Amino acid sequence: MSLVGALPFLKPRLSPSVSPGRQRRHTLPASEFRPLNTQDAISVFEIEKEAFISVSGDCPLHLDEVRHFLMLCPELSMGWFEEGRLVAFIIGSQWDQDRLTLDALTLHKPKGSTVHIHVLAVHRTFRQQGKGPILMWRYLQYLRCLPYVRRAVLMCEDFLVPFYQKSGFKVQGRCSITVASLTFTEMQYPVRGHALMRRNSEAIGFSQTSVLLLEEPIQRSETALLLEEQTQRTEPEPADV
Whether residue 26 lies in the annotated active site:
no
User: What local confidence, expressed as pLDDT, does residue 17 receive?
Assistant: 52
- In the predicted model, residues of the chain with pLDDT beneath 50 are 1-15, 18, 20, 195-196, 198-221, 223-224, 227, 229-237, 239-241
| Strands, sheet with 85-95, edge to edge from the N-terminal-most edge strand | 32-34, 77-82, 85-95, 114-122, 151-156, 185-190, 170-174
Quote the DSSP letter at residue 62. -
**Annotation marks residue 148 as catalytic:** no
Please name the residue ranges forming H helices in the chain. 3-6, 41-56, 63-72, 131-143, 161-166, 195-200, 208-231
164 in active site: yes
What pLDDT, on a 0 to 100 scale, did the predictor assign at position 225? 52
Q: What is the pLDDT of residue 53?
A: 80
Query: In whole angstroms, what is the distance from residue 13 CA to residue 192 CA?
Result: 55
- Cβ neighbours of residue 119 under 8 Å, at least 6 residues apart? 48, 52, 59, 60, 61, 89, 90, 91
Residue 30: per-residue pLDDT:
83
Of 51, 56, 49, the C-alpha closest to 122 is: 51
Instruction: Given the residues 63, 72, 107, 226, select the one marked as catalytic.
Output: 107
What pLDDT score was predicted for residue 237?
46
The question of whether 120 is a catalytic residue gets the answer yes
Choose the catalytic residue: 43, 118, 142, 146: 118
The reported pLDDT for the residue numbered 69 is 98
pLDDT per position as a tens digit, 47-78: 999 998 877 778 899 999 999 999 999 999 99
Tally the residues of the chain: 241
Beta strands in 25-159 (DSSP E): 32-34, 77-82, 85-95, 114-122, 151-156
What residues have CB less than 8 Å from 152, skipping those under 6 apart?
A: 92, 114, 115, 116, 117, 140, 143, 169, 188, 189, 191
In the set 43, 93, 201, 207, the catalytic residue is 93
Does residue 139 carry a catalytic annotation?
no
Question: Residue 56's pLDDT is what?
Answer: 72
Classified as helix, coil or strand, 182 is strand
Choosing from 139, 142, 164, 189, which is the catalytic residue? 164
Q: Of these residues, 100, 120, 213, 214, which one is catalytic? A: 120
pTM confidence score: 0.74
What does the pLDDT read at residue 24?
53
Looking at residue 57, its pLDDT comes to 76
